[in-house]
Amino acid sequence: MTIRTVRPNRGQHFHPRIHCLKKLEAMVVEMQDPKAGVKGTEQKLNVTTIPHVIAGKDIIAWIITKMKVTQEEAEAFATMLVAYGYVYPLQNHKKLVMCNDSSLYRFQTPYFWPTQKWFAEDSDYAIYLAKRNIRKKGMLEAYEQAHYNHLNEWLNHKWDFIVMQATEQYKAGKDRQKPDRVVFDCQERAYWIVNRPPRRTHSALDCGPERLLNPNEEQKVTFDQYRRVNMFYQQAIMRSKVKSSVSLGALVKYITTYKNHDPFLAPCLPSNPWQTDHDAYWTLNMRRVEVPTKMRVERWSFSLFELLTDLRGRDDFKIFLKKEFSGENLAFWEAAEELKWGTASSMSAKAETIFKTFLAPGAPRWINIDGRTMGLTVKGLDHPHRYVLEAAQTHVFMLMKKDTFFRYLKSPTYKDIQKKALNPEAHNFSPAQLEQNAQNRSPGIDPVVLWQQEEEEKAKAAAASAPVDVKAMMSKIDRKK
């Protein structure tokens, strides 16, 4: 009987990514150099001696020396090697992280490297799980058992063939020496952990729908596609250009401003919830939290757009404008945003309300904009659409940006919130605490629930600010008597 060769395959076919992975592979090959690479030793694993075993701290030390980087950068790079399957852990195989300690790792064989353009098919994974099921006598891990049951239903029409292949591979594996058999089992398991990770676990190989495409397949380019490309380049040639020095200067200024607020460049305080499974960061940075953090308040000073985008910052800006009796510009800006993003059915009613409140002669909250913009806006309101207030909204935004925003930054309102702002201390979780956090992970608040809460708060605020109908109130009192 012929044994079907199982070629597990990743299907990594993004050309920019392939180029980056090739550089990673060159680094991995250099790590395995007998003279200048990471020194490996023999280690006993469950009574079996495993060759070429390396410690996590040795890999990180080699990266620091070779690449001249900091320890944090070396740990991040080493973790990326584990996440992409170039190095796999021997002890905790589900934890695809490089630990800077004596944890044991091995280099993955090039047969299982990501640049191999084979597809990791469900039938191959089913054969692997069936083989493990035979070897473990039905004692699979929980996530493997779930995948096994799903594949049993999905591939039921050829399950006999899958079991036959698994049985033959299991028999062929028993003919190997025990160390070789254990090493191959670890390599195969590490490959499938990367390509079929446990549920609720992020994979470095998931990059959107393009992953389902085959790069080796020839694509036919139609005449219409050539025409579209030609039009794009013609428009690009006609587009006005900016000097590289100006654009680079703006980029440097932007990075300098935002570097402490970028989670890739600076750590999140108190900790990154995606890494520690601790939700303190989300709790401290809820949309309408009572006392914001110092980093959040500092971000408000970057621009008016940052201030208005943050609902907590906008609330603070409203308090300042209320003290100065000049809140009509912000109220108009918010009304224009609601019209822009609201439902189509309520568009006409909202446009009429905005006109009566802000634009009509003698309106209660009349805004001061130039005559040309006013004329265009009022004319557009005869046939309202989502962007009918775009010109007036931009004009009002620029007025607030040039005048009100800078006065707000110098006001006691902003200085008081700066003093009250929280500065959380960084968490320092041990590996055991991180495991506990992962086990106690709970789903966050549903965005729909948050939206409903915000709508209720808006309704309450509108009811509180609405004029009181004295006659209606008196009639209610009389009915109660």
DSSP string covering 283-308:
HHT-TT-SS-BHHHHHHHTT-HHHHH
Is the CB of residue 222 less than 8 Å from the CB of residue 229?
Answer: no
Q: Is 90 left (phi over 0), alpha (psi -120 to 50) or beta?
A: alpha
Query: DSSP letter at 411?
Result: S
Could you list the beta-strand ranges (E) of 361-455.
none
State which amino acid sits at residue 447. P
In the block, tokens 């603070």 appear at 316
CB-based contacts of 204-209 (< 8 A; 24+ apart in sequence): 204/80, 204/83, 204/84, 204/96, 205/10, 205/12, 205/84, 205/114, 207/14, 207/17
- The pLDDT value recorded for residue 212 is 42
Tokens of 17: 């990514």
Q: Is 306 exposed, middle or buried (0-12, 13-18, 19+ CB in 10 A)?
A: middle
CATH dotted code for 15-116: 1.10.10.10
d(CA 254, CA 252): 5
Residue 149's Cβ-side half-sphere holds a number of Cα atoms within 13 Å equal to 7
Give first-to-last CA distance, the chain, whole Å: 96
Does residue 422 sit in helix, strand or coil? strand
Nearest to 305 by CA among 245, 240, 350, 257: 257
Is the CB of residue 340 less than 8 Å from the CB of residue 387?
Answer: yes
Query: DSSP letter at 266?
Result: S
Burial 62-91 (b: 16+ CB within 10 A, else e): bbbeeeeeeeeebbebbbebbbbbbbbbbe
Beta bridge partners of 53: 41
Tokens of 253: 């200024």
Does residue 55 sit in helix, strand or coil? strand
d(CA 271, CA 267): 7
Q: Where are the domains of the chain?
A: 15-116, 243-285, 295-420
Nearest to 421 by CA among 260, 308, 289: 289
pTM to 2 decimals?
A: 0.49
- DSSP output for 9-54: ------HHHHHHHHHHHHHHHHHT-TTTS---EEEEETTEEEEEEE
Class of domain 295-420: mainly alpha
Strand (E) or helix (H) holding 89: strand 87-89
> Rounded to whole angstroms, what are the CA distances from 378 to 58, 340, 396?
71, 16, 15
State which amino acid sits at residue 32. Q
- The pLDDT value recorded for residue 252 is 92
- The pLDDT value recorded for residue 197 is 82
Report angle CA 178, 180, 182 to the nearest 5 degrees: 65
Along the 481 residues of the chain, how does pLDDT read in single tens digits?
A: 344 434 444 443 445 566 677 788 888 888 988 888 898 888 887 777 888 899 999 999 999 998 888 999 999 899 888 888 889 888 877 788 888 888 899 999 888 887 776 667 888 889 999 998 888 887 888 888 888 888 888 888 899 999 999 899 888 888 888 888 888 888 888 888 888 887 766 676 665 444 444 444 556 778 888 888 899 888 888 887 788 899 899 999 999 999 888 878 888 889 888 888 888 888 888 888 889 999 999 999 999 999 999 989 999 999 999 888 888 999 999 999 999 888 888 888 998 999 899 988 888 888 888 888 888 888 888 888 888 899 999 999 999 999 899 999 999 999 999 999 999 998 898 988 888 888 887 766 666 676 677 777 777 766 665 555 545 555 655 665 5
Beta bridge partners of 424: none
